[in-house]
Structure 1
């Protein structure tokens, strides 16, 4: 089989890439070991985060770093044995989070985020997935008045600078907004621009089905078998070798394994995360982030999904769901949480880059090879946005936004 382009990875980023290229007339084959939307894109909180104009920075205050080091709080957990492997990327992450560097990162990051709703909207309509989507936003909630007052001031500033719609709710307003709460909160910020999705994996599946209806092909295969040939690239699938003139690596947290075999060393690392679904009666109306306890409560088709913060560990290390156990206890302080609806928690990995910007563009040393990974916490939000950008670059079109901040060449030595 010979195709124009093979896209490796069938998460939100890979599926949107394949779809964008197919809609431009390319013959495209999407390759993954699993069905679309079954890995990282399945396990998130299901929010298309229009408000997420500021990526998660490494804390600069020594008190915050000490709190993490002493394993206080529930937003961050780490494996001590993994730190030696992770430290080069984490040191660069800390350096890139310095105020002057971070300001330019926010400029580049917000340039992507501002397109997330319009790009998703087009695909949601074409895929017939409107029933999965709510446009009521989500709640960023606080237990203490001090933390709430500080966050409310910051959110108001961010909203004004970036043209966002947020509503600051006091204790009474928060309770009125979310009747399912019986635990008392000091207040919440209602981010009203974002859209929420009742089944994130299903939305990716709908986009993949749209790709198929428009003439794209999906094959199960092993992305790690990608090899250059005289005419382009080849990869092994269940149907035999697949050849293409161009290849796109959109493998999320697994991209690092493949690109290393090709001689690329980018400052990549993963933040692992867990979720589990629970019965809840009544079910909350909106997703709610309990900021001070490091847990998101997201109403889903399968139940109330509790998602955790970041776990710094090796990607394939055995699960250590200590954050999820604490999250369950904290959630029971806020809502009437029933038993889990799954036997085991879900574990996934967020693909992160030390400078907090995705890697989108042409591989520096291999003709016909393109990179599209490293979206951190926002692959679900940004998949259609950066897919359009990459498709325009592949076609040699004027890109709809400046591609330079995301170019792989920024790491060329």
Structure 2
């Protein structure tokens, strides 16, 4: 099977990249070891996060570092045996999270975040997936007066980004979201983001649009990628696929391709979990609810109320550990009435992260025809279509809508 471009990875980033290349005339074969949307793209909180103009940074305050060092928090947990391996990466992350580094990352990510909703709109309507996307935004809820006051100050500091939000007192929040427990004193309703009630289903819908438009999806092993006589080839269940170009959009699995080729890109994994819960009689979660102190999100999904956890630093292949999920669940039940668990076991996902809080988007400098699109951290669903567009513009010689230099793989050398 011959094509112009092979796209490796059928998560939201890979599927979006395939669609964007296809729209610009490329003949594309999309390859993954499993069906589209079954990996990391399946299990997130379903936020198309237009309001996240400041990247997730490493805490710098001594009080926060001491609190996390006890490893008793619900929002961040670490495996002791993993720390020696993760230490050098965490140090890089900490350094980039200083005021200067965070300002650089914020400036770099803003052109992508600003277009995240509009680029999804251009795909969701023709894919027939609008029923999975809601325009109601999401709510940040607080049970601590000092934390709520600080959140309002932080929101005001974002005014120059033109974000739309509403500060809700206790009564206003309960009117918007009935059923909240009395401990919740108020919140901030971020209005610009959209939310997705089935992220994996949305990704599969986009993949079906790609196939409907003439694209080809096949099951195959990205780790068999080889360059032969100027072409790229991958072994699949349909035989050998050969292309002029290849895109690595494998998220947390990208290291298995770029490292053997000699690229030293500091890609790390932040693990996270989700669990679905039944809604109690008379309760209905209206939009995703974030507890910033507890470090979890409750989101209405087609499979029930989904609780997604914060960050777990552990080896990627370590077995599921329910400690963090149990901590989050205990706190969540003091915020909102959750019913029984609906899943046999927690879902475990892996977020691909770079220490400077920006993804890698662009060419592999030493391998003509090889391109990268990975490392989107907590915002793969948010950024899939817009980053697919940027890479497709670069690959097809179209003037890119923003300077791609901040996302170059060469920035780490």
Task: Provide TM-score, normalisation by structure 1.
Answer: 0.98
Task: Using the TM superposition, give the Cα deviation of residue 239 of structure 1 relative to its aligned residue in structure 2, in angstroms.
Answer: 1.2
- CA deviations 1:297-327 (Å, max 9, x no partner) are 1011100000000001111111112111122
Aligned to 2:59, the other structure's residue is in SS state coil
Q: Give the structure 2 partner of residue 156 of structure 1.
A: 156
Alignment of 1:155-234 (within 5 A): 155-158=155-158, 160-234=159-233
Q: Distance in 2 between matches of 1:104 and 1:329?
A: 37
Q: Distance in 1 between matches of 2:342 and 2:182?
A: 23
2:55/2:102 contact within 8 Å kept: no
Runs of 4+ aligned structure 1 residues displaced above 2 Å come to none
Q: Give the structure 2 partner of residue 379 of structure 1.
A: 380
Q: Comparing 35-44 with 402-411, which one deviates more in the overlay?
A: 402-411
Q: Comparing 376-385 with 87-96, which one deviates more in the overlay?
A: 87-96
Q: Give the structure 2 partner of residue 338 of structure 1.
A: 339
Q: Distance in 2 between matches of 1:303 and 1:182?
A: 19
Aligned to 2:386, the other structure's residue is in SS state helix
1:358/1:373 contact within 8 Å kept: yes
Task: Using the TM superposition, give the Cα deviation of residue 73 of structure 1 relative to its aligned residue in structure 2, in angstroms.
Answer: 2.0
Q: Give the structure 2 partner of residue 131 of structure 1.
A: 131
Q: Give the structure 2 partner of residue 402 of structure 1.
A: 403
Task: Using the TM superposition, give the Cα deviation of residue 295 of structure 1 relative to its aligned residue in structure 2, in angstroms.
Answer: 1.6
Let me know the Cα RMSD of the aligned residues: 0.9
1:183/1:335 contact within 8 Å kept: no
Q: Give the structure 1 partner of residue 2 of structure 2.
A: 2
2:320/2:346 contact within 8 Å kept: no
Q: Give the structure 1 partner of residue 52 of structure 2.
A: 52
Alignment of 1:69-88 (within 5 A): 69-88=69-88
Q: Distance in 1 between matches of 2:179 and 2:403?
A: 44
**Long gaps (5+) in structure 1:** none
- 2:254 maps to 1:255: yes
Q: Distance in 1 between matches of 2:182 and 2:355?
A: 37
Q: Give the structure 2 partner of residue 30 of structure 1.
A: 30
Aligned to 2:192, the other structure's residue is in SS state coil
1:283/1:304 contact within 8 Å kept: no
- CA deviations 1:363-389 (Å, max 9, x no partner) are 011010000000000010000011000
Q: Distance in 2 between matches of 1:156 and 1:301?
A: 34
Alignment of 1:388-399 (within 5 A): 388-399=389-400
Q: Distance in 1 between matches of 2:3 and 2:111?
A: 33
- 2:58 maps to 1:61: no
Q: Distance in 1 between matches of 2:227 and 2:87?
A: 32
Task: Using the TM superposition, give the Cα deviation of residue 292 of structure 1 relative to its aligned residue in structure 2, in angstroms.
Answer: 1.3
Aligned to 1:279, the other structure's residue is in SS state strand
Task: Using the TM superposition, give the Cα deviation of residue 72 of structure 1 relative to its aligned residue in structure 2, in angstroms.
Answer: 3.0
Q: Comparing 88-97 with 353-362, which one deviates more in the overlay?
A: 88-97
- CA deviations 1:229-273 (Å, max 9, x no partner) are 113111110111111110000000010122111111111111100
Q: Distance in 2 between matches of 1:231 and 1:214?
A: 28
Q: Distance in 1 between matches of 2:409 and 2:232?
A: 19
**Long gaps (5+) in structure 2:** none
1:88/1:267 contact within 8 Å kept: no
Aligned to 1:126, the other structure's residue is in SS state coil
Q: Distance in 2 between matches of 1:296 and 1:174?
A: 16
Alignment of 1:316-355 (within 5 A): 316-355=317-356
Q: Distance in 1 between matches of 2:208 and 2:50?
A: 25
1:13/1:383 contact within 8 Å kept: yes
Task: Using the TM superposition, give the Cα deviation of residue 335 of structure 1 relative to its aligned residue in structure 2, in angstroms.
Answer: 2.2
- 2:364 maps to 1:363: yes
Q: Distance in 1 between matches of 2:189 and 2:330?
A: 24
Task: Using the TM superposition, give the Cα deviation of residue 170 of structure 1 relative to its aligned residue in structure 2, in angstroms.
Answer: 1.6
Aligned to 1:224, the other structure's residue is in SS state helix
Aligned to 2:157, the other structure's residue is in SS state helix
